[in-house]
Chains A and B, each alone.
Chain A
């Protein structure tokens, strides 16, 4: 399989995509290059390419049946070291010489992404965001903050399917309007019942669904939205210096999730046009979707997985907007201390104030 490493024409070093200038930059001689100059490297991708896999069993041991399934081994052009990836690895760095590599075959023919949103924020920004994420969380165990392998945070291009759809909705509701008044003898309540219908169309574009089974879908939904205005035509050069995976969940499977979200939004949008009623309840909801063609995109995400106390914790930062998410563990001892300590202080204060009022 063809491995691509982008060499600097000036000093022959390996160049990477630099987030601050949004161009390719050589970290050794500081020269910057426009994306177009590297477009020629992608010429070959236009043709269907056959995967040729090199199987390598490691010296000195027998692999079990099935253990080697899915492993791919590549040879680093810079140092000759072995790079081991799986079926989806599309961009990584050589574990020996740290040079970035891109596996061209992963993007051949049909697999070529339609667009990519390049990284806008670099590793420093990601680390800062992680540190900020810890701030002010009083119930976070101190040891967790200290034991994080912050440097291992990785910039990953996550494969996404983007769906367009036109929704055709026809929803019926039952609604009531309630009026109340009273005279000297009776309290009156008047309830008027209505049958309400709303129908029409609403369009959606580029609803994203995570196309990688390795990366948690809910985590990816939490760092939305990605701004499509920042997307550019795909070029493999953008991947240099980062990690990337190609999709392993195809578009027919992912569309299910997209349609779920589209339906919910459609129902909400039409419900919001029903106004002026005391109560509204949907009676029948009929939503038909016409999906346009799905697009395949790579979106930038900074990822860090860490484990603590036997549990796995994953943090993600939107590489374009900087939105940072990640569930944190609870320090049970601190929680108990806070709960009872605070209860004690407030009880004492209430008691003191009540006593004061009593004796005044």
Chain B
């Protein structure tokens, strides 16, 4: 009997140890497969990602790879969500160096509600300049900041953009005032040179004796309509995320 209890307890302990280890190994929030970051940067970013996870009960994930192995960024992103053991609420940032792809997608009810496709486009556009310059750490920090802003805004409500509205109101007020006072100033001037003599034309004296319209040549140019690469559609069944190049 005692042996059975010891066996069961140790199995339980072993199992929980293994599962913790397994979860620690299979669901790290930052996986730098393409080795774009130094170890200090990795530590700092992982800390930020863990703070995000704790605050919003949602996994913000950063994955960098050398190649997408023939998959599209969207397919790869979905595979990450499905098979790599992240929580149901998840935001994925995928960077592939082979063809310089960057992809952001959100999964789960709350995450998808907080990050619309337009928002994902915005975040991707925010980080693309840093990626193009090779500032990967900054790019990822920006990603975390943006995710925090939008998720916090969705859950807790966005902060009142006092400064933006104040500046806009001041500019609009000044421009309108300039126009109105400009009109009032123009009222003061009434002396104008008359450059034409239209009122002195002899009525009916105009005779167009010569009128020729000659066709010379024709020129046709055409511009290719760009196909939309970043798929935006939003027809049911979850969003497609935001993909682009850097």
Contacts and interface: CB of A to CB of B under 8 A. Distances in A.
Interface of A: 133, 136-140, 166, 170, 175, 182, 184-207, 218-219, 221-222, 224-225, 258, 260-262, 264-265, 268-270, 273, 324-330, 335, 338-340, 342-351, 354-355, 358
Nearest to B170: A347
B54 interface: no
A192 B215 contact: yes
B211 A202 contact: no
A176 B187 CA distance: 39
Nearest to A139: B184
Interface stretch (B89-97, B126-134, B190-198): B190-198
A218 B218 contact: no
Question: Main secondary structure on chain A at its contact with chain B?
Answer: mixed
B21 to A, nearest CB: 49
A350 B187 contact: no
B69 to A, nearest CB: 32
A198 B219 contact: no
B200 A193 contact: no
A261 B197 contact: yes
Contact of B188 (A221, A264, A329, A349): A329
Contacts of A188: 220-222
B188 A330 contact: yes
Interface residues of B, number: 54
Contacts of A270: 208
Contacts of B176: 342-343, 346
B207 interface: yes
A194 B216 CA distance: 5
Contact of B185 (A139, A191, A201, A354): A139
B178 interface: yes
A338 B184 contact: yes
12 contacts: A138-B187, A140-B188, A188-B220, A193-B217, A197-B211, A201-B207, A204-B202, A224-B194, A264-B197, A327-B190, A343-B173, A349-B173
Nearest to B224: A186
Given A138-B184, A187-B225, A327-B190, A269 B215 contact: no
A267 to B, nearest CB: 9
Given A199-B209, A201-B205, A261-B195, A193 B224 contact: no
